[in-house]
Structure 1
Amino acid sequence: MSLVSAIRTNSLGLSLFALITAGAIAVTQVMTRDSIAANREEAAARALYEIIPAERIDNDLLHDTVTLPRAQQVGSEGPLAIHLARKDDQVIGVIVPVIAADGYTGSIELIVGIEADGTLAGVRILRHQETPGLGDKVDLKKSPWVLGFNGERLQSDDDPGFAVKKDGGRFDQFTGATITPRAVVGGVKRALQLFRDNRAHLLEGSPWEVHRNG
């Protein structure tokens, strides 16, 4: 009976430990949830303002958005919130979130800033899982490659030059890693095409749902 009692006691102890651990994890998640959300929002705002600096606009770039009901061409499976940059209540540019699903090791999340005239204001990579030392060079922290988009634009409706050099385009690829830059270039091109197709709505007013929290 002593063995049975010992097993029962140990089982109760393990169960109690599991309950305490689960409770501690749950409490930690609740306590840090707001902090994590705030950190993510701060990081998102920082990336947006790297593309369109605060001194150029007079609105809240993070929260002033217009919702495009359908945007599958940039990887959105539902409505897409496009950030609006305003000066004197005129839209001078937009920032389009893009998901490039054709990265080497997974989807690449980026934002594409576009001036009112269709010129690229800048591109930033938000999240990726690309190979360190190769594909991760799309990240500005790793290399200045992404700055090569600044000032670029589509030369035609389907500009064949808007591709990596290996595909006959004008953008560099990385030695030993073509898939990742190809995915990013393709994502940026699709964002420019989306802007072109919806330019009047974005710049001159739209029947879409508009959020003006800023």
Structure 2
Amino acid sequence: MNEPTAGGLSLRTALAMLVFTLVFTAFMAGGYLLTRDPIARSAKAEKLLLIDQILPRSGYDNALLDDVISLPPTPELGLDQGGQVWRARRAGQPAALVMEAVAPDGYAGRVELIVAVAADGQVLGARVTQHRETPGLGDYIDPRKDKNKAHPWISQFERPARDLPPAAWTVKKDGGAFDYNTGATISARAVTRAVGRVAAYAAAHRDALFQ
């Protein structure tokens, strides 16, 4: 029996690796195709549940997550890489905007937010979507971490606020209109001022955002 040559062994190895690669790639592609849509639906549902906390579905009748525009880098909102705006409509008319924003000056850095603003300029609510604030101290800006479950700190923004002057969009320690937790002012100040900037931006660009 002839002994296999080095070239023959190399060819067999290469063919085996090729077959393995093709089978593995097909397996991975199949898995991706099977899970892609469920993952996308899950992410969409999770995002909508978050928006529900600041904009009730009774306030609009369009497919909110499909009525979205992308903002370019927008320094006014802290969006160095741009962001998204979801547009709520009722009977075809503007109802509210849900806008991404970033407070760059949290105690531990960036605090990412979504803010709902009614078409008439009233801030409807805000939620923190990502932060690194100190556990047990500054993380009360996130209602999931706030010990006051009945009236979490961030629920202050769920009130008529369209007529507040710019100077009022900060904490009371700085002469503003919003409460804060003693010993943890920086986080609250950063979020409050960011929400104020969103309110101002929405008022200034309302028509363009809804077009």
Of 103, 106, 110, the residue aligned with 2:106 is: 103
Paired with 1:88 and 1:128, the residues of 2 have a C-alpha distance of: 36
- 2:179 is aligned with 1:176: no
The partner residue of 1:191 within 193, 198, 201 is 198
Summarize deviations over 1:186-213 as a string: whole Å, max 9, x none. 110110111011012134x2xxxxxxxx
Question: Is contact 1:52-1:85 (8 Å) kept?
Answer: no
Question: Contact conserved, 2:170 with 2:177, CA < 8 A, in 1?
Answer: yes
Instruction: Quote the Cα distance in structure 2 between the aligned partners of 1:35 and 1:182.
Output: 39
Matches within 5 A, 1:1-214: 38-143=41-146, 144-155=152-163, 159-203=166-210, 205=211
CA RMSD of aligned residues (A): 2.4
Give TM-score, length-normalised by structure 1. 0.73
List runs of 5+ in structure 1 lacking aligned partners.
Answer: 1-22, 206-214
- Give % identity: 37
SS in 2 for 1:189: helix
SS class of match (1:42): helix
Deviation (angstroms), 1:79: 3.8
Cα offset, 1:171, TM superposition: 0.6
Give the superposition deviation at 1:33. Answer: 7.4
Distance 1:38 1:109 in 2: 23
- In 1, distance between residues paired with 2:35 and 2:79? 28
Secondary structure, aligned partner of 2:168 = coil
Q: 1:38, CA displacement in angstroms?
A: 4.8
TM-score norm. by structure 2 comes to: 0.74
Tell me which amino acid in the other structure corresponds to 2:91: D
For 1:181 and 1:79, the matched residues in 2 are separated by 23
Number of matched pairs: 177
Tell which has more relative contact order, 1 or 2 (C-alpha 8 A, sep 6+): 1
Query: What letter matches 2:70 in structure 1?
Result: T
Query: Given residue 180 of structure 2, which amino acid in structure 1 is its aligned partner?
Result: Q
Q: What amino acid sits opposite 1:123 in the alignment?
A: A
1:137 is displaced (CA, Å) by: 0.8
Tell me which residue corresponds to 2:18.
none
Give a deviation string over 1:4-46, Cα, whole Å, max 9, x none.
xxxxxxxxxxxxxxxxxxx9xxx7x969777665544332211
Shift of 1:133: 1.2
Deviation at 1:138, TM superposition (A): 0.9
Q: Cα gap change, 1:33/1:132 in structure 2, threshold over 3 Å: closer, same or farther?
A: farther
Please name the residue that 1:12 is paired with.
Answer: none
Gaps of 5+ in 2: 1-23, 147-151
Q: Distance in 2 between matches of 1:194 and 1:41?
A: 26
Secondary structure, counterpart of 1:62 in structure 2: helix
Deviations 1:40-81 (A, max 9, x none): 433221111221122221112222112333422111124432
